[in-house]
Amino acid sequence: MADKKIYAIYDDDYVLLESAKHLVSKGIFIRDVFSPFPIHGLDPVIGLKRTRIAITAFIYGMIGVSLALTGMWFFSIQDWPMNIGGKPNFSLWDNLPAFIPVTFEFGVLCAAHGMAITYLLRNWTLPGFKAHNPYLRTTDDRFVMEIHPHDNSVSAEDIKALINETCVLEIDEK
């Protein structure tokens, strides 16, 4: 097959980062990088946009806050107002100080869980799913760049020649 993926295998995160800079400066598009831990400074080099997952957390949190307030308003003010210890439940506004703790906790609960579920779905990681790292050692001590020849204007041979200028451990195609 003409269009095999090229994998450049490195044994160090710093070397991979500097090599990625080198390749990108030569106009190579790096499709993905697999590493055992996050490589700081890599995202802008290979052109990854910042994730928007933090915004989803805010939205989930606000949903939680609204749900908690609506619920407490319904239970304690609307449906069955109770007078406990001479402290009746009159209106949401009057009771708000007592409702803050539950509102806060429920907001955090929804934000954290909503974001975690979104995170797992966006990464497509759930129990029973198959991993797709190209080499087993990329989760331990290998750092691998994945380059697709069809993403680039130059030929696979030229890409490999460019990778070979860096201190790569091994170049593999599959």
Q: Which of residues 128-147 bind other proteins (CB under 8 A)?
A: 128-133, 136-141
Give min distance, CB of 126 to other proteins, in A: 6
- Complex with other proteins: residue 2 or 142, whichever CB lies closer: 142
Number of residues that bind other proteins (CB under 8 A): 75
Query: How far apart (Å, rounded) are the C-alpha atoms in residues 24 and 33?
Result: 13
Name the one range near other proteins by CB under 8 A: 1-9, 31-39, 151-159: 31-39
* 13 close to 115: Cβ distance less than 8 angstroms: no
78-137: contacts with other proteins (CB under 8 A): 79-80, 82, 84, 87, 89, 95, 98-99, 101-102, 104-106, 108-109, 111-113, 115-116, 119-120, 122-133, 136-137
- Complex with other proteins: residue 35 or 152, whichever CB lies closer: 35
Side chain identity at residue 11, one-letter code: D
Side chain identity at residue 115, one-letter code: M
- Complex with other proteins: residue 156 or 168, whichever CB lies closer: 168
> Tell me, what DSSP letter sits at residue 149?
G
47-76: contacts with other proteins (CB under 8 A): 48, 50-51, 53-54, 57, 61, 71-72, 75-76
Cα–Cα distances in angstroms (integers) from residue 7 to residues 134, 155, 173, in the given order:
8, 15, 6
Query: How far apart (Å, rounded) are the C-alpha atoms in residues 126 and 82?
Result: 45
* 33 close to 146: Cβ distance less than 8 angstroms: yes
